[in-house]
């Protein structure tokens, strides 16, 4: 960001991106599809966590948009499990953006109350800068990444609405400092719930799924917060 030409162009792009993201979110709300932007570093277990979450959803049917640079391994794997999954490829770009996601989601045929998980590119930096139409941002971290990640990649931890810390089954073999991790995280984000989970044995996901379904049940109020209050204005 040392280049003023780049800064000017990027400001335009951020503004257009935000505008499209708001429209996508409104359209998904109308279609009763609660949208989760799934962020996290490469190899943190995003797809594995999604599968464990799906097993715990009680009120909504899961749909997936898989963001990858150029592969489609995860989308094919999910389809084999019977989960509707759309592939979006960025062909080099380091994050999903709202125009690409809008084109991907507008043709999904949601059947009843739905939860749409959009798995972003594995990257702990850039995806946090771009809204894509989500109701909430889900950040997946992992005990194998080390306990200093909130200090080093603050924006992703600051912007998350829900945080999963995966691979707790490996904790006995690591020196993950949970107090240091939580201290750094809470300095950035005092409120987001944090669940320690293991995609390998499924532990911790029931609580996370319940939190998401509770949020989803209230998405219309949150999308139009002033509808409840306009006669008090």
Contacts to its own copies by CB under 8 A: 1-3, 5-6, 9-10, 12-13, 41-43, 45, 68-71, 73, 90-94, 97, 99-100, 121-126, 142, 144-146, 148-149, 151-155, 167, 169-170, 173
Of 137, 184, 194, 121, the C-alpha closest to 164 is 194
Least gap, CB of 218 to its own copies (angstroms): 32
Q: Which is nearer to its own copies, 203 or 213 (CB)?
A: 203
**Looking at beta carbons only, is 27 or 126 nearer to its own copies?**
126
CB of 166 to its own copies, least distance (A): 10
Q: How far is the CB of 145 from its own copies (least distance, A)?
A: 3
**What is the DSSP track for the chain?**
---HHHHHHHHHHHHHHHHHHHHHHHHHHHTTEEEEEEEE-TTS-HHHHHHHHHTT-SSSEEEEEEEESS--HHHHHHHHTT--EEEEE-TT-SS--HHHHHHHHTT----SSEEEEEE--S-SSGGGG---S-SEEEEEEEGGG-TTHHHHSHHHHHH-SEEEEE-GGGGGGS---HHHHHHHHHHH-SS--EEE--TTT-TTHHHHHHHHHHHHHTHHHHHSGGGGTGGG-
Nearer to its own copies, 1 or 107 (CB): 1
**Which CB sits closer to its own copies, 34 or 130?**
130
Q: What is the 3-state secondary structure (H, E, C) of 18-62?
A: HHHHHHHHHHHHHCCEEEEEEEECCCCCHHHHHHHHHCCCCCCEE
Nearer to its own copies, 125 or 210 (CB): 125
Nearer to its own copies, 34 or 45 (CB): 45
As measured in angstroms, the least distance from the Cβ of 137 to its own copies is 17
Min dist. Cβ of residue 122 to its own copies (A):
7
Nearest-approach distance from CB 80 to its own copies, in angstroms: 15
């Amino acid at each position: 960001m040392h280049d003023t030409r780049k800064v000017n162009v990027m400001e335009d792009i951020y503004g257009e991106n935000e505008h499209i993201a708001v429209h996508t979110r409104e359209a998904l709300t109308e279609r009763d599809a609660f949208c989760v932007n799934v962020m996290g570093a490469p190899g943190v277990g995003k797809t594995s966590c999604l599968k464990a979450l799906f097993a715990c959803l009680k009120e909504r049917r899961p749909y997936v948009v898989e963001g990858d640079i150029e592969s489609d391994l995860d989308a094919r794997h999910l389809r084999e499990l019977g989960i509707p999954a759309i592939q979006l490829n960025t062909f080099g770009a380091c994050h999903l953006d709202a125009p690409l996601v809008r084109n991907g989601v507008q043709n999904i045929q949601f059947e009843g109350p739905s939860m749409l998980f959009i798995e972003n590119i594995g990257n702990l930096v850039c995806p946090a800068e771009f809204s894509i139409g989500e109701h909430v941002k889900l950040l997946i971290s992992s005990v194998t990444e080390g306990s200093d990640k909130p200090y080093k990649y603050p924006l992703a931890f600051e912007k998350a609405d829900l945080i999963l810390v995966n691979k707790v089954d490996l904790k006995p073999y690591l020196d993950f400092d949970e107090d240091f991790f939580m201290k750094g995280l809470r300095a950035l984000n005092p409120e987001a719930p944090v669940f320690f989970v293991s995609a390998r044995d499924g532990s911790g996901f029931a609580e996370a799924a319940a939190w998401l379904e509770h949020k989803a049940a209230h998405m219309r109020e949150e999308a139009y917060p002033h509808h409840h209050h306009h006669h008090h204005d």
